[in-house]
Amino acid sequence: MKRTALLWIALVAALLSGCLRKEILDDISIESAIGLDDAGASKIRGTVLIPIYKKEETTNKTLTSVSISVNDLLEELQHQASEPLVNGSIEILLYGKRLAEKGIFPFVDHFHRDASIGTGLYLAVVDGTAERLLKGHYGRQGNAIYLSNLLKHNIEQRDIPKTNLHLFLKAYYADGQDPFLPYIRRAGKNVYIQGIALFRGDRVVDYIQRNDLFFFKILTDAYTEGTHTLRIDHNLYISIKNIATSRNISFSGSQTQPHVHIHLSLEGVVREYKPTPFSPSIRPLIERQFEKEIKKKTSELIKRFQQQQIDPIGIGEWAKSHYRRFRYRDFYRRYRDLPVHVTADVRIRDTGIIE
């Protein structure tokens, strides 16, 4: 008798627990990308991309609305959607240039707070408006996959430093580092990576152009497979593919008068050499030349960061783990005039399958 009663209670409890809201994949619209643009008067114009899976290829549907906050915007968009919009599978967040220059943090917070959103998704700044970029049609797998793949392979194998929501927030909250995001642009039927947008706090203040990306990546990220073409003479070019990089930032002097020393060492292979055949005897020459170029370009970049009072490399964080009782404020007060010395060490490992 008692056992039956217990069984009944268990049954009722089990049934009641089953009464939660379900989200069946066929009955929801999954947002795969969100673009946010400035709409004046502290309002934002949001575009949500929903992939529609068909037999042949994935087509894109966009919904646009204007509102005051991201959450409000997504609520607003629910009115336009025939199926509930869910945001558990967002691949990429895009911010229009004008919004990015005004500050994006208020519009990142929502995605940070939402338990259903991963931290591995990409963020990017768009030259122009995010809306226009999302309304294009790229690739067969849908725009969101296209864009995230575009960034993914450039991060993993080329010259874009590692970036995602987690790293953006990590740099944003860190006192000794400023965030940066990829800077992309739509050109007709294509999207290309134009460079890197550099932030001070949550506002974009500067952009790094494409030809400086290689040097930016070796400064900020430990590993890159980027290729750089070096001009040795007026007609002599060599392409070197980077295999392994290591960077070390060391400090000398007291905490009040630090000297920064950045050492970059690269290991590369020759990819292309023209117009004469490559001879092993000129290898040291090329190595020295490349070292000189790295020193010059990276020093220029660092000077630029110092003038802008930004620290995308995170020199402050390196300094913090070097000095005891470190104080960021004192460090950044002198940041503009900080003596930074760059040295490089290049080693060309092989020359491809021909010599």
In the complex, what is the shortest distance from the CB of residue 244 to another protein, in angstroms, rounded to a whole number?
A: 16
Check residue 169 for interaction with another protein (CB under 8 A).
yes
Binding mask 279-318 for another protein (x = CB under 8 A): --------------------------------------xx
Question: CA 275 to CA 281: how far, in whole Å?
Answer: 16
| Residue keyed to tokens 């953006």 | 168
Q: How far is the CB of 5 from another protein (least distance, A)?
A: 11
Interface pick for another protein out of 27, 55, 173, 254 (rule CB under 8 A): 173
Residue 132 near another protein by CB under 8 A? no
Q: Are 179 and 95 in contact (CB under 8 A)?
A: no
Contact 38, 97 (CB under 8 A): no
Which residues ranging from 2 to 61 are in contact with another protein (CB under 8 A)? 6, 9-10, 13-14, 16-17, 20-21
Q: Is residue 208 within 8 Å of residue 195, measured between CB atoms?
A: yes
Q: Which of 54, 189, 234, 325 binds another protein (CB under 8 A)?
A: 325
Residues in contact with 41: Cβ distance below 8 Å, sequence separation at least 6, in sequence order? none
Binding-site member from 72, 76, 101, 175 for another protein (CB under 8 A): 175
Which of residues 69, 86, 98, 118 is near another protein by CB under 8 A? 118
The binder of another protein chosen from 207, 323, 332, 335 (CB under 8 A): 323
Site string for another protein, 64-83 (x = CB under 8 A): --------------------
Region binding another protein by CB under 8 A among candidate stretches 109-117, 212-220, 263-271, 346-354: 109-117
Whole-number Å distance between alpha carbons of 6 and 12:
10
**Smaller CB separation from another protein, 111 or 278:** 111
Does position 177 bind another protein by CB under 8 A?
A: yes
In which residue are the tokens 């930032």 written? 249
Of 156 and 272, which has the nearer Cβ to another protein? Answer: 156
Distances (CA, A) of 289 to 184, 238, 270, 285, 348: 31, 11, 14, 6, 12
Q: Is 87 in the site for another protein (CB under 8 A)?
A: no
* Interface pick for another protein out of 110, 135, 158, 170 (rule CB under 8 A): 170
330 in contact with another protein (CB under 8 A):
no
Closest CB to another protein among residues 30, 236: 30
Between residues 174 and 269, which has the closer beta carbon with respect to another protein?
Answer: 174
| Phi (first) and psi of residue 310, to 5 degrees | -120, 155
From 56-64, 65-73, 117-125, 299-307, span contacting another protein (CB under 8 A): 117-125
Tokens of 299: 């020093």
Residues contributing to the site for another protein (CB under 8 A): 6, 9-10, 13-14, 16-17, 20-21, 88-89, 115-120, 162, 166-167, 169-175, 177, 317-318, 321-326
